[in-house]
Structure 1
Amino acid sequence: MPYVSRRSWAAVELGGDGARDPGGRGRCPDSGDACTSESSAGTTRSGGREMGLRGRLSLGLVVLMAGCTATSPPVTPAVTVSSSAEPAATGCASQVETGALPDWADEGFSGDSRIAHVFGAKGDIVAVLFAHPLAQQRKDGSNNKILWVSRPVPAPADATSSDNLMITATLDGTDSRVTHAVTGGPGPSIIDMPRAGCWHLELRWSGHTDTMDLVYAETN
């Protein structure tokens, strides 16, 4: 608690700028004797005023203590980051190859077959990128043309599975999802995405499955 002088305490106790003697009797400007000859009723009133002054003194003490407490620095709470605030699993495994296509994927190409392409995680399908880089907006009038070529594999045991290539794409770190279907299975297609970023693709065709990541820029 800060230091308060006796004069300040006296001012609080009196509620004004007067002073009081140690005996509790008021000091008269001319004669102390004249001030002591008070009636019993006056003494009672004086006692009531003194009780009131003591109440104000106690109130002043409480205010001073509250003032000392208010000057203390606030306590900063610990910050806890909830795991639910974190985005979905992130990471982009897209690796664009620029060399020649494998033999099983270069049918229809004459001469040099070097072109940008991305393999599926299992290596069972390849996306040949005729538009590289892929872009969410293409200002040159071109399209996001992708040629899908699957590795020759035995016929699936499930003969009822669709021959179409079904593509389910999820934007990295979000729950934004779009689907595309390439009629007749892997082949030429135009695959646009609503937003730029890394898209995780789940690929299904003729009973086969694979995955790959494709990156779409803002614009080409």
Structure 2
Amino acid sequence: MEKSNTLSELAKALSKVQGLIRPALKTSENGHLKSKYADLGSVFDACRDALAENGLSVVQMPVTDEPGYIALETMLLHASGEYISSRARVKLQKDDPQGAGSGLTYLRRYSLSAALGIVADDDDDGHAASAPRGPQKAQQAPPRTQTPTRPAQPPTGPVLTSGQAQQLHARLGAILAGTKWDGADKDFAAEVLGFRVGSFTDLTVAEAKKLQDAAEREPKLEAA
């Protein structure tokens, strides 16, 4: 991470921004898994006004990296001239313009969310605000195939650090973009490993490699 010599004004502004940021609404749907996720537009909608009101702006630019990778630099700027910036990269499944575009979009969404602390929430179209209050029978969701959790036993190898888990999350998101698992890396992990994954920090290094290898074999969907 790079930063200006001072950060006091930026820190004050960022503290106010994080108190105003709304959850990013999950308005995009993975048509194959019927699951929703917050796309890049929703993430920007969650923070755009709060940033502008407090003299902050975000610049995201693709940067040169080694062949087969796409990298992005995200810079948070304050009107005082103070700034912080960080770079993230992912390996491309397809080294072509479509693969680069998918990877770059994912990096923009992931990096912006990480920098500002943006979380995602379901979009219920205002139903929660207008629905009558009081005891009601909960509506049952359609039954889903239950995937078991990991068996209660010690890991068979070293587990991922927090940094490695974040890298895995970013890598899977970029590789799976444009596949039927787009925006559903936890569901993909459950399918491959045979158990529900609460956090990627629970996975071993061997399990992480198994996930990445499986993701790289996942076919892209045909454009409509």
When normalised by structure 2's length, the TM-score is 0.19
> Greater relative contact order: 1 or 2 (C-alpha under 8 angstroms, separation 6 or more)?
2
- Which has the larger share of helix? 2
Pair member with larger Rg: 1
If each structure's strand is expressed as a fraction of its own residues, which one has the higher value? Answer: 1
